């Protein structure tokens, strides 16, 4: 059987991909017509929109189908050849049609570092920071899949405070190491929750489908000039890269850890007795133009985040904002307590004052054309359990000429 070259859902199985469009009839959790609709779709949105118990049942059914004891796939040579595809031959796509994208600012270390740089004589944290998950609405149309090249953005900057602004390519282009999650759950007219009806934090797990790695590219010089009084705009809207593999929240439970102690205690709508973070090791590697050797410049962990995914979702919807299956909510920069665990060049170079030296001898304060940034992550258990997140990579191209 010849496969049509169309996007379709798949599951990573070692160095192969299980094509769910070929085995949907063997999976439990949905009737055959529903399963066909969900697993021959060109995005995961139809699956994300199902109930959490469907996610659970399908996940267990896939694991059972792939087990050595199950003959349905094991003994069907023709189906195996059709449904199990070498990963190196697979082209990855955006996993969902993203209706809305929101970026939070949830790392205490990152917020403190930025505050120290920008407000050296004041409290690094603004008065609201420890009371609510600060966030802003991003641009969904420019969220791209790993491997997409990124053009350096153009915009207004003000290099010298005593001079008028200038126009041109950003000279302080940066990455931001982030983790993001997709919203899902029962949809009513595509809405996960009805307009005017918040998602209680106790129900958040029913609406967090899974997570991806993210690089929220940032033009720091454009941001510095434009962000007062309304926050990020052009400095963030030109590109956001995510990894194509969505790791279900269910898969992360063996790696759950106690969340960071929050002081003061959050208001009741943000308080969850069973809230948790996850022990996810995160890395950033930078490969300069003309080199095949990368330098690991960041090693950190998602468990350091102050505000959790459940709190982010509860806060986002507390006004009655209607969330939709496929909406993307991001953590903000993930930074740890030591310089090598900072999740951006802004912090690593401390605002451009402390250059990083790469393996080839070159130095960086911010990204140069031809640089490739690769984010990776994994969960590693002491019982041999390991979960990989794939990679989130992008190559910086020169700005597009403008006249």
**Active-site residue among 60, 93, 110, 197?**
110
309 and 278 in contact (C-beta within 8 Å)? no
Measured between its terminal Cα atoms, the distance across the chain in Å is 51
List Cα–Cα distances, 245 to 9, 45, 387, in angstroms.
10, 14, 11
- Phi, psi at 167, each rounded to 5°: -115, 140
Q: 3-class SS at 166?
A: strand
Instruction: Please give the Cα distance from 263 to 270 (Å, whole number).
Output: 13
Instruction: Please give the Cα distance from 61 to 202 (Å, whole number).
Output: 27
DSSP one-letter code for 189? T
Rg of the chain, C-alpha, whole Å: 22
Alpha-helical segments (H) within 165-229 = 220-226
Question: What pairs with residue 377 in β-bridges?
Answer: 282
315 catalytic residue (yes or no): no
CA neighbor of 367 nearest in space, from 167, 104, 153:
153
CA neighbor of 194 nearest in space, from 84, 26, 16, 319:
319
List Cα–Cα distances, 111 to 121, 146, 306, 309, in angstroms.
15, 26, 10, 17
Instruction: Please give the Cα distance from 178 to 215 (Å, whole number).
Output: 6
100 and 328 in contact (C-beta within 8 Å)? yes
List Cα–Cα distances, 195 to 97, 317, 340, in angstroms.
21, 9, 43
Residues belonging to the active site: 110
């Amino acid at each position: 059987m010849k496969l049509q070259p169309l996007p379709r859902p798949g599951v990573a199985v070692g160095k192969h991909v299980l094509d769910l469009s070929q085995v949907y009839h063997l999976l439990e959790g949905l009737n055959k017509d529903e399963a066909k609709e969900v697993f021959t779709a060109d995005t995961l949105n139809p699956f994300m929109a199902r109930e959490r118990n469907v996610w659970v049942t399908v996940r267990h059914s896939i694991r059972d189908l792939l087990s050595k004891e199950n003959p349905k796939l094991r003994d069907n040579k023709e189906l195996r050849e059709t449904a199990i595809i070498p990963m190196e031959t697979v082209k990855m796509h955006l996993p969902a049609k993203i209706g809305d994208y929101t970026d939070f600012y949830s790392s205490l270390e990152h917020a403190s570092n930025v505050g120290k740089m920008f407000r050296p004589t004041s409290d690094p944290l603004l008065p609201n920071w420890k009371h609510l998950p600060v966030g802003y609405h991003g641009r969904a149309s420019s969220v791209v899949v790993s491997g997409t090249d990124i053009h350096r953005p153009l915009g207004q900057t003000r290099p010298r405070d005593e001079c008028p602004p200038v126009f041109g390519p950003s000279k302080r282009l940066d990455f931001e190491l982030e983790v993001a999650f997709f919203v899902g759950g029962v949809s009513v007219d595509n809405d996960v929750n009805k307009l005017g009806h918040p998602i209680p934090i106790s129900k958040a797990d029913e609406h967090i489908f899974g997570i991806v790695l993210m690089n929220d590219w940032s033009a720091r010089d454009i941001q510095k000039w434009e962000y007062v009084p309304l926050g990020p705009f052009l400095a963030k809207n030109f590109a956001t890269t995510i990894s194509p593999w969505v790791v279900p929240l269910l898969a992360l439970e063996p790696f759950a850890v106690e969340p960071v102690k929050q002081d003061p205690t959050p208001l009741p709508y943000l308080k969850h007795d069973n809230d948790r973070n996850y022990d996810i090791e995160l890395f950033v590697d930078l490969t300069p133009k003309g080199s095949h050797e990368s330098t690991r410049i960041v090693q950190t962990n998602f468990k350091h985040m102050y505000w959790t995914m459940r709190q982010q979702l509860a806060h986002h919807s507390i006004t009655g904002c209607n969330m939709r299956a496929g909406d993307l909510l991001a953590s903000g920069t993930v930074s740890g307590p030591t310089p090598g665990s900072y999740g951006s060049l802004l912090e690593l170079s401390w605002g451009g004052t402390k250059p990083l030296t790469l393996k080839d001898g070159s130095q960086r304060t911010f990204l140069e054309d031809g640089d490739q940034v690769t984010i990776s992550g994994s969960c590693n258990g002491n019982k041999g359990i390991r979960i990989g997140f794939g990679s989130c990579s992008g190559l910086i191209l020169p700005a597009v000429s403008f006249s």
